[in-house]
A and B are shown apart, each in its own frame.
Chain A
Amino acid sequence: MKFLQDFFDKLKPFVEKGGKYEKYHTLYEGHRTIVFAPDLTTGKKGSQVKDAVDLKRMMFTVIIAMIPCLLFGMWNVGHQHFLATGADAELIDKILIGALKVVPIIIVSYAVGLGVEFVFCVIRQHPVSEGFLVTGLLIPLVMPATIPLWQVALATVFAVVIGKEAFGGTGMNILNVALVARAFLYFAYPTAISGEVWTYLGDAAPVAAYSGATPLAIAASTVGNPGATPVVDLLNDSWSAGIYDFWNMFLGIMPGSIGETSTLMCLIGAAILVLTGVGSWKIIVAVFAGAYSMGLIFNLVGLNEFMLMPAQYHWVIGGLAFGAVFMATDPVTASQTETGKWIYGFLIGLLTVLIRVFNPAYPEGIMLAILLMNVFAPLIDYYVVQANKKRRLQRATV
């Protein structure tokens, strides 16, 4: 790799202090440290050795964990396309269609997002941070395949500028950056991200009786409708046989955002995050527990058919699993104390189901629940830390 080192060394004089392109120093460093782990050494005093992990590797681990969701999502976009249009297709056709829709979204997300990051690095002279590595893939995975690319670009700019850089960059943001992108689209262009947008049809006409409604929309339709059929029956009577059957929804072979339909793939991702210690298992478990508990409470209240839907259905419909595994565990915006993580996750699960049932306009609840709890996470931590201080004071004798 000597030639690469030489290449960077040759560029160095231009970007060093006093060089012609001095202000691009952070960009230069950013790229060099991607190709080569830097030659920095520890200080004279203090720890003389350091753990082999760094933020880049940590972030990359999250990307690895998302790959099952991504691959499955690509296939599923194609599969849903052919299912809805009634055409027969081979596996490869499905993947190709999926890739054709998904890859451009990923490219736009990374290109635009990194572009904005680079601009900020140069303006504010802070190092290129790794945060966007994960955000760049999270954004496409929570979009419908039909989203216009310019909207992806706009949402990404908004998310990075307002969601992150306005707070000082990676590590300082309050809200989950990828969710800010999705929330932006939800409020700015609601028609592109809600309703029957989840299946890519292209120019083809859908089959007879096709309905693009997601299971959440079907369930929500029972609210305010006395005498409605139970949700489970409604789901089973869907336009395509078995598509909203519990186990099919668990596998994720149904319309939805690109990466979030499959609970199974999310659980594989969760296993990677938990085994590598990068994601907090406490948060993931707590979100599922919170959603289940609220589901059970609603079963007891039973005012409408949505409330009566079996609690475990909340785990597999919508983006609960994806949100729990990849969004709620974001270490920057989640609760940072171990006790706090339980409370934070549990409340996300609880709120998700609450929003689903009580918010007919937008049946997906996990996004709003996580954003809301992002805001409350520091408060939760505040009380946990306060309890620690109190323990300390009680033990004092003076």
Chain B
Amino acid sequence: MSKFVKLKKGFNINLAGKAEEKIGEIQQPETFAVKPTDFQRITRPKLLVEEGASVKAGTPLFFDRLQENVMYTSPVSGEVVEIKRGEKRKLLEIKILADKKITHEQFTKFTVSEMSSLTKETATELLTKSGVWPNIVQRPFGSIADPTATPKAIFISAFDTNPLSPNYGILFKGQDQYFQAGIDVLKKFTPGVVHVNTNADAEVLPMFAHVKGAEVNKFSGPNPAGNVGVQIHHLDPINKGDLVWTVSPFGVIQIGKLFLEGIYDASKVIAVCGSEVSNPQYYSTYSGANVGRFIEGNLKSDHVRVISGNVLSGEAVGKDGFLGFFANQVTVIPEGDKEEFLGWILPTFNKLSFQRAFGLFANTKREFVLDTNTHGEQRSFVQSGNLEKVLPMDIYVTYLMKAILAEDYDDMEALGIYEVIEEDLALCEFVDVSKNDIQKILRQGLDLIQYS
């Protein structure tokens, strides 16, 4: 049964620099990178290539020793030019200098009719060896799905309510048949339902609205209504012992393309946006692209932060960094590393605040230029109830945080830690008066539960 869920809690952050709805012409970036750090739980990656090796799109680069059959493959064809390591030789980036013309590893192709007789085993094998599998994220914990597990349901959020989120109509234009094929494959993995959750407050793309074999639900409300974690909470919540999978629409399309075309196609459309971008618009590129090309000569100022993903749960990658595996936007905002005379008290119409404390007179609906300043120092949790006001879930975030800090396993479980990953509490981190690193604390808690 399809459901309609109306959410009241939340907060839309309206940032300046929305991408103009066109795909810009640009020379492809020269380098691309796969970052093991994009994936939760990769603890012991085993490299399969050396510097200088030539690869095709879909050639395995490494795997995690904990899940030996899941390959992480190259998004483009070219030469491995650098393997970057961090402290204790932690594998950070595998950089590939791309060919002018991308060639692909050829995998088995299926016709639409053949797909119906496809077995789960064949599908698993193809998905894991081609590099498409990491699109499937498992909850609890948000790690890459275990191919031997059976999820109780699969959830796909077909919209994004995060700041400056890209328009899915542009991102996935003309990919309808691949999305359908992806759903057909995913259905084989769960005895339960495949949920496709759409936005009740906007036009829904036909590929989502008319998808077959999945349940199409509607969600209405402010951010984080588009977060798959929030949707799961209202459709079929995760209890202790439960396992569900989530896949982004891009992931579903990539799965579909693998079966219909026989290739690992990492090409994607991304939005380059944010107040500091001169011409915010969309570009067509590949997963893991170097962001330099998109922002070169395209910035209004020099002192900026380049973020792979959105401003709430993204990662600062620097001007020469690489797009994250799951990201479909690059956001550029000003750095806020400057002191402000009496900044904590002067009345202003220019600062965005979910709260309405004295002097914050701005209309929260208009567009804002936000920088990276924390606007205050870290304190103990003082204000009560404001974290809960922006999370449309029956979870006492403050108590969950305190349980994690106290390393109280029973309380963490009882207070719902299995239901959330970082992105779900990102807005809580934004509004927190005491400036705590909520997402970081949550990951500490998830790690504690998972590994001890």
Docked-complex contact A49 and B311, CB < 8 angstroms:
yes
- How many B residues, CB 8 Å from partner? 77
Docked-complex contact A395 and B339, CB < 8 angstroms:
no
Which chain A residues lie closer than 8 Å to B22 at the CB level? none
Which chain A residues lie closer than 8 Å to B388 at the CB level? 338
Q: A50-B435, A170-B382 are in contact. Are A40 and B357 (CB under 8 A)?
A: no
Name the residue of chain A whose CB is nearest to the CB of B434: A55
Which chain B residues lie closer than 8 Å to A280 at the CB level? 384-385
- Chain B window 179-209, contacts with chain A (Cβ cutoff 8 Å), 1 for yes, 0 for no: 0000000000000000000000000000000
Q: A37-B340, A37-B375, A60-B345 are in contact. Are A338 and B385 (CB under 8 A)?
A: yes
**Distance in Å from the Cβ of B170 to the closest Cβ of chain A?**
24
Interchain CA distance A36-B346 in the complex, whole Å: 11
**Distance in Å from the Cβ of A323 to the closest Cβ of chain B?**
18
Docked-complex contact A54 and B375, CB < 8 angstroms:
yes
Task: Say yes or no: is B13 at the interface (Cβ < 8 Å to chain A).
Answer: yes
Docked-complex contact B375 and A41, CB < 8 angstroms:
no
Docked-complex contact B384 and A334, CB < 8 angstroms:
yes
Classify chain A: how many residues form its interface, as a range.
Answer: 35 or more
Task: Say yes or no: is B265 at the interface (Cβ < 8 Å to chain A).
Answer: no
Which chain A residues lie closer than 8 Å to B163 at the CB level? 49
Task: Say yes or no: is B315 at the interface (Cβ < 8 Å to chain A).
Answer: yes
Task: Say yes or no: is A225 at the interface (Cβ < 8 Å to chain B).
Answer: no
Among B130-138, B142-150, B422-430, the stretch that binds chain A is B422-430
- Chain B window 313-325, contacts with chain A (Cβ cutoff 8 Å), 1 for yes, 0 for no: 1111000000000
Which chain A residues lie closer than 8 Å to B339 at the CB level? 5, 36-39
Which chain A residues lie closer than 8 Å to B432 at the CB level? 50-51
Could you tell me the dominant secondary structure of chain A's interface residues? loop
Task: Say yes or no: is B374 at the interface (Cβ < 8 Å to chain A).
Answer: yes
Docked-complex contact A54 and B237, CB < 8 angstroms:
no
Which chain A residues lie closer than 8 Å to B116 at the CB level? none
**Distance in Å from the Cβ of B237 to the closest Cβ of chain A?**
6
Interchain CA distance A170-B379 in the complex, whole Å: 9
Docked-complex contact A57 and B372, CB < 8 angstroms:
no
* Chain B positions 12-43 with a Cβ under 8 Å from a chain A Cβ: 13
Docked-complex contact A37 and B376, CB < 8 angstroms:
yes
Could you tell me the dominant secondary structure of chain B's interface residues? loop
Task: Say yes or no: is B351 at the interface (Cβ < 8 Å to chain A).
Answer: yes
Among B92-100, B218-226, B287-295, B393-401, the stretch that binds chain A is B393-401
Interchain CA distance A335-B338 in the complex, whole Å: 37
Q: Which of B305, B331, B385, B435 lies at the interface centre, i.e. has the most chain A CB atoms within 10 A of its CB?
A: B385
Interchain CA distance A396-B241 in the complex, whole Å: 9
* Chain B positions 341-399 with a Cβ under 8 Å from a chain A Cβ: 341-345, 348, 351-360, 370-377, 379-386, 388, 394-396, 398-399
Interchain CA distance A331-B352 in the complex, whole Å: 23
* Chain A positions 244-283 with a Cβ under 8 Å from a chain B Cβ: 272, 275-278, 280
Which chain A residues lie closer than 8 Å to B429 at the CB level? 46-47, 50
Task: Say yes or no: is A295 at the interface (Cβ < 8 Å to chain B).
Answer: no
Q: Which of A45, A46, A58, A336 contacts B357 (CB 8 A)?
A: A58
Q: Which of A43, A58, A280 lies at the interface centre, i.e. has the most chain B CB atoms within 10 A of its CB?
A: A58
Docked-complex contact A57 and B430, CB < 8 angstroms:
no
Q: Which of A44, A54, A392 contacts B433 (CB 8 A)?
A: A54
* Chain A positions 344-383 with a Cβ under 8 Å from a chain B Cβ: none
Task: Say yes or no: is A385 at the interface (Cβ < 8 Å to chain B).
Answer: yes
Q: A39-B337, A169-B380, A336-B385 are in contact. Are A46 and B375 (CB under 8 A)?
A: no
Task: Say yes or no: is B431 at the interface (Cβ < 8 Å to chain A).
Answer: yes
Task: Say yes or no: is B335 at the interface (Cβ < 8 Å to chain A).
Answer: yes
Task: Say yes or no: is B45 at the interface (Cβ < 8 Å to chain A).
Answer: no
- Chain A window 11-55, contacts with chain B (Cβ cutoff 8 Å), 1 for yes, 0 for no: 000000000000000000000011111111111111111111111
Since A47-B311, A51-B433 are in contact, a sample of 14 more A-B pairs with Cβ atoms closer than 8 Å, ordered by chain A residue number, is: A39-B373, A42-B374, A46-B313, A46-B439, A49-B312, A57-B357, A276-B355, A276-B358, A278-B357, A331-B383, A337-B384, A388-B394, A396-B239, A396-B241
**What 8 A-B pairs have minimum CB-CB distances, sorted nearest first?**
A54-B376, A37-B343, A171-B380, A52-B351, A36-B339, A336-B384, A396-B239, A61-B358
23 A-B pairs whose Cβ atoms sit less than 8 Å apart in the complex: A35-B341, A37-B340, A46-B438, A47-B312, A47-B429, A47-B430, A48-B307, A48-B311, A48-B331, A49-B371, A50-B374, A51-B354, A51-B375, A51-B433, A52-B351, A57-B360, A170-B379, A277-B356, A277-B386, A338-B388, A388-B395, A395-B237, A398-B242
